[in-house]
Structure 1
Amino acid sequence: MSSNENFNQISPSEFFYRNRDLAGFSNPTRSLYTAVREFVENSLDACDHSGILPNIHMTIKAVDPEKPDPKQYILTVKDNGPGIPSKHVPLAFGTVLYGSKFGLKQARGMFGLGATMAILYGQITTNKPVKVKSNADGKTRFDFEMKLDIQKNKPVIMKKQETPSTEQGLSVSIVLDGDYAKAGTKIRDYVYQTSLITPYATISFDDPKGEKFHHKSIIRSMPPAPTVIAPHPYGIDVETIRRMLVDTHYQIPNVDDKMIEKVRKELGMSKQKFTYNEIMKKTEKKWKSLTRPVRVVIALMSFLEADFEKLQRIRIEDVDLRNNKLIYWDYSTSQTLAADMDVESPYYKQLANTVQGESLTHFLTKRFQRVGPTAALEFCKFAKFKPETRVGNMTDQELVKLSDALQTYEGFRSPDPTCLAPLGAEPLEKGIQRRFEPDFMAVVQRTASAYSGFPFVVEMGIAYGGKIETRGTTVYRFANRIPLLYDEGSDVVLKVVKDADWNRYKVKSDSAPFIIVSHICSTRVPYKTVGKENVADRPEIEKELRLALQFLSRKLSGYMSKKGQAEAAKKRANLYSKYLPLVAQFCTELSGKKKEPNYEKMIKEETAINNTDENKEVEKNG
C-alpha cells in the first residue's frame, strides 16, 4: 500500500451505483423485471401489514413505441394500501438502506434496497425523476418529484404539491431503460405466479403492447399480519449482543432546570432554598416512591454534596466505576473536577446499576425470545457466568464467551413460530385449483422449524393432469410469497426435486403433466444474493422440503396406482366389447343353439365398476 494513495469514504447509494448487479440491475432485461418485482412487493407488504385486501394496478409504457428494444419505459405501480406519511416519502424513495423492514419479522423485502435501487437505476439510465403520489389519511394526496443525490445518499425534492383526495394508497412511477421484448415473458409469469401465491389479491397489468392481464382475488380472507419478535439466542453474534447492550444502559439524565424541577416535585419541596442535608433527609422518606431518573440525580447530589443551586452550576461528564470517581464540569470555575464515590454508600448501587445496565439473567429473559428465568439461570451455570453479572460491564473477551455459549447451549427452546404468517393450506389449494384445475392435487403445510435461530415454515402443493399444459416436472418456487424466477439451478428446492426418485412414485418426471408449488416463509429467508432469486441449501430447510415432497409424492403415487388400475379396467372393458360378441357367436354356432348368451350384461357390469372407481377418485381429489 503506497503512502501516496488517497482514501475516501463512499455512501451506500454510491456503493450500489457502482455495484448494481448485486441487487439484480445488471442489464435492461433483468432491471425492468427487478423494478417490477420491487414495487409490486412493496405494495403487497404494505397491504398485508395493514390488513387491506390488495388491489394493485401496474402499467408499463414505452416512451417511444417505435424505437426498438432496449429503450426507455415508464413503469407505474399503484396500490390501495395505507400510503406513506408525507414526511417519510423523500427518505423512503430517495435514500438507500432506509425503510421499515429491518426488524426481525416475515416480509417480502429485507434490505431496504429494492424500490430505491429501481429509482437509482432509472435515474442513472434516463436522468428522469421518480414521481410519487401518497395518500396516508384518505384526505390529502402528496405528489413528489425527486431525484437521489448519489454521493450524499439524500433525496433532492424537485417538486411537491398537495391535492385533496379521498383515495388512500400509493403510486410510484419511474422512467428506466428496459427490454420488454426479452423481459416480457418473465414479467407476465411473475404477475401470474404472484396471483397464485396471493389468492386474496387483485392484480392488474397493462403491458406496452396494449394487452391487459387481470387476476382477480379468489378468496376474501388474508393470512394474519407478521409480527416483530425478539431475536433467538441461536441467531445472534458478538456484534448483535454489543448493539443490544446499548439498549440495556440506563442513561444518566441531563441535569437541567426541567430535571431539577422534577426532583423538587417528587420530593414535595417548593422552590424555596433547601440545604443539602434537608434534601437528603427528605429523600430518605420518599425514596421508594421516586422514579429512576430522580433517584439517579439524587445519587449524584449525594456524592457532590450539592444542593439545587450547586447542581445547576455543573455538568456530569462521566461515572468512572473503576476508579470510583464522579467526573463533572464546574461552570463557576470552568474546570473539570472529580468527586470520590464511596462504594459503601447506599447511593453507589443506584449509579452503578445505571451505568452497568441489566443483570445477565434480566438481559436474557427480557431481550431474547423463549428464555425464561429458569433457562437463564441454567445457561449461566453452563457458561460459567454469575447470574447477577452486569452485562454493561462485560469485557470484549466476556462478550465473545457469552456469544459462543449462546450458540452452543442446547437448553433453549426452539424459536417462536407464531410470528410467521404462512399462506395456509386451504388458500394455496384454492390458488392451484383455480389456475390449473388438476385431476389430482394435494397440499401440505409442515410444522414450524428453525435454522440458526430463525423460524420457518414450508408449504408445498403438487398437482397432476387437468389443464396443466407443460410436460415434465414444473416447479414454482416462492419465498415469503415472492415468486423466484431466476437462478433456479442453484436453488435448494430444485435440488430436492431432482434428488427424488420419481419412478418409485409411478411418475414419468420428463413427460408427465404435473407441477410442484413450494413456499418457504421465514423471518429471514437465506437468499444467496441481494437479488432474492434463490434460496441457500441450509440443511434444516432442505430436510423440511424433502419431507414435504415425500409426503405429497406418496399421495400422488396412490393416485397414479388407482389411475393405472382404472386404465387397465377400461382396457379390459374395451377388449370385452370387441371380442365377446365374436366369442358368443362362435360358441353359439359350436353348440348348435340359436340364441346367443347375454354377454352385454358382463360388459355393463365391468363398465359400471370402472365408472364407480373413477367417480370415487374424482370426489377424493376435488
Structure 2
Amino acid sequence: MSAERFNQISPSEFFYRNRDLAGFSNPTRSLYTAVREFVENSLDACDQKGILPDVKLVIRAEDDTKQDPRTYTLTVHDNGPGIAEEHVPLAFGTVLYGSKFGLKQARGMFGLGATMAILYGQITTNKPVKVYSSTDGDVAHSFEILLDIQKNKPVIQKKSKKKVKKRGLVVSISLEGDYSKAGSKIRDYVYQTSLITPYASITFEDPKDNKFVYKRILKTMPEPPTIINPHPHGVDVETIRRMIVQSRRDNISTYADAVPLLHKALRLKEEDPSHDAISERASRRWGRLKPEVRTAVAITDALKCNRAYLQDITIEDIDLDAGMIHYYDNNVSQSRTAPLQGDGIFYSHIKNLVAGEQLHSFLTDRFQRIGPKTAQNFIKFAGFKSEQHIGLLDNKDLVKLSDSLQTYEDFLAPNPSCLAPLGESPLEQGMKKFFEPDFLEVIQRGASAYSGFPFIIEMGIAYGGEIQSRGIKTYRFANRIPLLYDEGSDVVLKVVNDIDWGRYKVKHDAPMVIASHVCSTRIPYKTVGKENVADRPEIERELKLAVQFLARRLSSYMSRRGKAEEAKKRANLYAKYIPLISQFCTELAGRKVEPKYTQMLRVGDNV
C-alpha cells in the first residue's frame, strides 16, 4: 500500500474549490455579487480619502444573440484615489491581499470579494481582468492580469500607460452571468446603495441600454473612521501571540534607522568598517549609545556582517530557543536563516529585545481603553507582575492572560472612533428623498459592543405619503452595504417581526418602511457572502430598543392623526346637516332669512 500523499493548497485554490462560500454559487448570484464587490470597493476607496464618490456601473452582454446564462462584461468606474502602479498586480491578482485588515469600519472585511469576482470571471471565460488606475490624474497605468490559482500570484498579460485627465480606477471583467434573473436584485442594490450613501452619485447602465441615475443628495460626508488598537475583550490567544511578535518586530526594526548613523555614533573613520571594528568601538561607547544604535551594533555582531550588508537586509524574527536569526536578503529577494552568534553585552541586548515590553506597558500601549491604573488593577486580578516581559510568557501564561482579558469586567467600553455611522440627518434626508412619507423619524443609538467589537445601530421609520408597499418593508444595511439575500435568517427581520405592531396602532397592511443600519469594525455575518447578520444578543438588544423608540414615535403620530381624522369627520357631518337644520328652523319660525351658520362651519373645519 502506497504512502498517503499530503499537499498544501493556496488561498486562491481553496476559494476556487469553494467559491460558493463567497457568494459565487451560480450565474445569477455571481453576477450580483461581482457588482456588489466592485461598487463597494469604489465607495470604500472614496470614503477613506474623503472624496465625494462618482461611481458608474456598466453591464454589457458580449453576444446579444445568446440566451442567459451568457458572458457579460462588467465595468466599474470611480473617481477615487486610484491604486499605485506597484500594488495593482497584487491587489487584483492575489486572494487575501488588500488594505482592509486594520481594526476600523469598512464595507469589505477580508480583501477577498473583488479578487473572487476576478477569479470567477477567469474560470468561466478564461479572460483577464482589465485595470486602469491613475493616482495623479495625469498618467493612467493599464494592466491585463490573470491569476495563477495554484500559486496565488498575478500573471501580467499586458501593461501600458497613457495620459489622462481624471484620477480614479476602472476595473473590467468578463464573467458568466444571468442578468434576466439577477437584474432586479442588481437594480435594487444600486437603489438601496444610493439610499444609504446619499453623498454619492451612482449611475447604472444595464444590458438593455436602460440608464439609472441617482444623483447625490448631500455634499458632506461622514467623518472617516480611524484605525485603533484592539479592545481587550475582543482578543484570543492567537491575537495576543501575534501582538507579541509584532511588538518584538517593532523593537528590532528600530535598527534600520540607526544603520546610517553608525559612523557618527561610533566615530568610525573607515568608509565600510568590519563588524570587528564596529563591535570594538561600540564596546567602549556602549553606555552613551542610543537604543536603536545598540540594536544595529548587536545584530552586526550576531551576523558577523559589515554595515553595508546590514543595510540590505530586513530582520524578520529572532528565535532565542533555536538560536536562529530569520531575515530577508533584499539583494537576492529571499528569506535567509543564520545561527545566532555573539555573547556579552551584544547578546544580552538581543535577548532583551526578544523579551519584549514589560506587561504593564504592553497593556497600555497595545490595547485601547487601558490606562496605567486600569493596567495595574488588571495585572493584580490576573495574577501577573507588571515587570514581566511579554516575550518570555509561555503557552500556559498566554492562555491565562487571554482568559483574564476576556473576563475582567472593569475595562471601559470599546472606543467608537473606529466607526463611521451615516448620521441621523443624512439618513433622514435620504429616506425623505426616496420615500416622500407623511411621517419620518430616525434614531442613532449610542455605541455598544459585542465580544470587544464596537457597533452602532441607526434606524429610520417612514409611514404613508408616496410609499407604495402594503405591509412593513424592511431595508437592511451593514456598513452601508444593502443586504438583499437570506433576509429570513437576519437578526433585523427577527426583531421587526417580534414587535407587536398592533400595540403601536400599526395595521398589518400599513404603508411603512424601516431602514436599519448596523455599522461595526466586525459585522458578524453568518457567511462570507455578507448577506445576513447573526443574532448576537448585544446587537439584537440595540435593534429592539431602536425599533421600540421609533414605534412609540409612530404611535404618537397615529394618535394625533386619528384625532384629526375624527375631527374632520365631525366637520363633514356638520357641513352636511347644519344647512338643512338652518333651513328647517327658518321655515318653522316663519322667517325669511336663515341664520348665519357659515361661521360655525369654518370653526368646524379648523378643529
> If the length of structure 2 is used for normalisation, what is the TM-score?
0.90
Identity of aligned residues (%): 63
- How far, CA to CA, are the matches of 2:317 and 2:35 in structure 1? 53
Whole-Å Cα distance in 2 between the matches of residues 307 and 74 of structure 1? 55
Partner of residue 14, structure 2: 15
Alignment map for 1:93-492 (pairs within 5 Å): 93-249=92-248, 262-263=261-262, 265-271=264-270, 279=281, 282-283=284-285, 287-288=287-288, 290-296=289-295, 350-492=349-491
Equivalent pair of 1:260/1:308 in contact (CA under 8 Å): no
Q: Is the 8 A contact 1:279 1:307 kept in 2?
A: no
Question: Measured at CA, do residues 336 and 196 of structure 1 come closer, stay the same or move farther in structure 2, by a change above 3 Å?
Answer: closer
Match of 2:83 in 1: 84
Q: CA deviation at 1:23?
A: 0.5
CA distance in 1, matches of 2:256, 2:135: 39
C-alpha distance in 2 between matches for 1:321 and 1:132: 46
Q: What SS class does the counterpart of residue 422 from structure 1 fall into?
A: coil
Shift, 1:570, TM fit: 1.2
How many pairs are equivalent? Answer: 587
Structure 2 CA distance for aligned equivalents of residues 377 and 174 of structure 1:
55
SS at match of 2:86: coil
Gaps of 5+ in 1: 328-334, 610-622
Match of 2:601 in 1: 603
- Change over 3 Å in CA distance of 1:86–1:460 after alignment to 2: same
Question: Aligned partners of 1:415 and 1:185: how far apart in 2?
Answer: 39
Check if 1:532 corresponds to 2:525.
Answer: no
Which residue does the alignment assign to 2:565? 567
Structure 2: distance between partners of 1:270 and 1:361: 42
TM alignment of 1:29-68, pairs within 5 A? 29-68=28-67
Give me the whole-angstrom Cα distance separating, in 1, the residues matched to 2:250 and 2:77.
Answer: 44
Judged with a 3 Å threshold, the aligned counterparts in structure 2 of structure 1 residues 326 and 460 are, in CA distance, closer, same or farther, namely: closer
Structure 1 residue identity aligned to 2:285: T
Aligned to 1:614: none
- CA deviation vs aligned residue, 1:252-305 (integer Å, no higher than 9, x gap): 979x99989854531335449999998478426xx24x121433466799999x
Is 2:543 aligned against 1:545? yes
1:276–1:307 contact (8 Å) kept in structure 2: no
The whole-number CA distance in structure 2 between the counterparts of 1:321 and 1:123 is 46
> Take 1:171 and 1:52, find their aligned partners in 2: how far apart are those partners?
16
State the distance in 2 between where 1:466 and 1:337 align: 76
Change (3 A) 1:3 1:303: closer
- Give the deviation of 1:558 after TM superposition: 0.8
Match of residue 556, structure 1, among 545, 554, 557: 554
Q: How is 1:568-583 mapped onto 2 (pairs within 5 angstroms)?
A: 568-583=566-581
Counterpart residue type for residue 25 of structure 1: F
Write the letter of the residue equivalent to 1:568: E
1:564 is matched by which residue type in structure 2? G
Give the whole-Å Cα distance in 2 for the aligned partners of 1:577 and 1:326.
98
Q: What's the CA shift string for 1:6-60, capped at 9, x where partnerless?
A: 2111111111111111000111111111000000000000001011110011111
Partners of 1:258 and 1:555 in 2: CA distance:
61
Structure 2 letter corresponding to 1:220: K
Inter-partner Cα distance in structure 2 for 1:23 and 1:604: 65
Tell me the alpha carbon deviations over residues 418-460 of structure 1, each in whole angstroms, 9 at most, x when there is no partner: 1211111111111011111111101111111111111111111
Mapped partners of 1:211, 1:336: distance in 2: 67
**Residues 98-146 of structure 1: CA deviation (Å, up to 9, x unaligned):** 1110111100010111111111111111111111111112121111111
CA contact (8 A) 1:125 1:176 kept: yes
Aligned CA-pair RMSD: 3.3
Q: With the length of structure 1 as denominator, give the TM-score of the two structures.
A: 0.88
Q: Take 1:494 and 1:116, find their aligned partners in 2: how far apart are those partners?
A: 31
On the 8 A contact 2:279/2:301 being kept in 1, the answer is: no
CA–CA separation in structure 1 for the residues paired with 2:96 and 2:116:
9
Q: C-alpha displacement at 1:597, in angstroms?
A: 3.3
Structure-2 change in CA distance of 1:150 and 1:559 (3 Å): same
In structure 2, relative to structure 1, the CA distance for the partners of 1:183 and 1:371 (3 Å cut) is same
Question: Secondary structure of 1:47's partner?
Answer: helix
Please tell me whether Structure 1 or Structure 2 has the larger radius of gyration of its CA atoms: 1
Partner of 1:501: 500
For 1:63, give the aligned amino acid.
E
